[in-house]
Structure 1
Amino acid sequence: MAERTLRVAAYGVCIQNGQVLLARWISADGAEWGWTMPGGGLEHGEDPLDAMVREMREETGYEVVAERLLGIDSRRRALAGPEGPIDFQSLRIVYAVRIVSGELRHEVGGTTDQAAWFDLDAVASLPRVDLIDAALELHRDAPPTGRIAQT
């Protein structure tokens, strides 16, 4: 039987003047990377909104406020683990955010190494994680259930 793992994380979608704020995720060994929404895993007992604000600050340098909950994206995938297969589920809570202070900077010593603004029409050509497409769909379509159709 495969090991089961659940990761709960919170992310912020920040769009200004036709651009979106992204962070570049990089694997621990540096072999893999891709652009993602700023955010990350909740610490035990942490409120999702507080986690999103903390992660946005850590990864981008900006202080943000949540304007609304966009929805929850749940993905399940099989991963290879050192002891065998892992049945991995990621539960990603996504907020629309607005910057209130701070200056753009890169995270040091974390799971991201860059933060940058990108034109929305350029996002499709970026190397990116699937969260970006899900988060932008939640932002664009505002589904009443807070959930997008899985393909």
Structure 2
Amino acid sequence: MIRRFGEAVRPDQGYRPRPGAYALLVQGRDLLVTHQAEPVPEFQLPGGGIDRGESPLQALHREVFEETGWRIAAPRRLGAFRRFTYMPEYDLWAEKLCHVYLARPVRAHGEPTEPGHLALWMPAEAALDHLGNAGDRHFVARWLGLA
């Protein structure tokens, strides 16, 4: 069974499955996170939706690069969580299945190419206070040995 985080499921609402791949990108005790300005300003683990025909690892590499400008290596799957949420940027009620990986940031190639995203390093302990969803915070806490 995959753990669920976030809003309660609305029984009157249909949800579309939306699988995604996300990364804890670690350097010492710091994490590379992304700040998404729109539609609601929020700190997030880098990553996003898995496109049709794409594997979770292909999506992970693509999304991390788009949102941070960094290339990554040695991704290792940590687990997954579900969340049911409205995604205003897509006008979509989604059942997000979030696959979470630990990966090594290798090299920055420039600024994020995803509009409205800013990549920044943050102490992992601070990420527990700033990340916008409970599933992301859970995996950071687990990596820190707190969960």
Instruction: State whether residues 70 and 139 of structure 1, in contact with CA within 8 Å, keep that contact through their aligned partners in structure 2.
Output: no
Q: In structure 1, list runs of 5 or more residues that go unmatched.
A: 142-147
Q: How does 1:1-151 map to 2 (within 5 A)?
A: 2-28=13-39, 32-77=40-85, 79=86, 86=93, 88-103=94-109, 105-109=111-115, 112-126=116-130, 128-140=132-144
Q: Alignment RMSD, CA only?
A: 2.6
Aligned to 2:117, what secondary structure does the other structure show? strand
1:72 is matched by which residue type in structure 2?
A: A
Q: Deviations over 1:85-122 (max 9, x none)?
A: 94x3110001110122234623342xx42110001222
Instruction: State whether residues 12 and 96 of structure 1, in contact with CA within 8 Å, keep that contact through their aligned partners in structure 2.
Output: yes
Q: How many residues are treated as equivalent by the alignment?
A: 132
Q: Which has the larger Rg?
A: 1
Higher share in strand: 1
Mean Cα displacement is larger for which, 93-102 or 50-59? Answer: 93-102
**Residues 64 and 89 of structure 1: CA distance in aligned 2, closer, same or farther (over 3 Å):** same
**Residues 124 and 80 of structure 1: CA distance in aligned 2, closer, same or farther (over 3 Å):** closer
**Residues 51 and 138 of structure 1: CA distance in aligned 2, closer, same or farther (over 3 Å):** farther
Aligned to 2:65, what secondary structure does the other structure show? helix
Q: Identity of counterpart residues, as a percentage?
A: 25
TM-score w.r.t. the length of structure 2 is 0.75
Instruction: State whether residues 43 and 132 of structure 2, in contact with CA within 8 Å, keep that contact through their aligned partners in structure 1.
Output: yes
TM-score w.r.t. the length of structure 1 is 0.74
Instruction: State whether residues 73 and 134 of structure 1, in contact with CA within 8 Å, keep that contact through their aligned partners in structure 2.
Output: no
Q: In structure 2, list runs of 5 or more residues that go unmatched.
A: 1-11
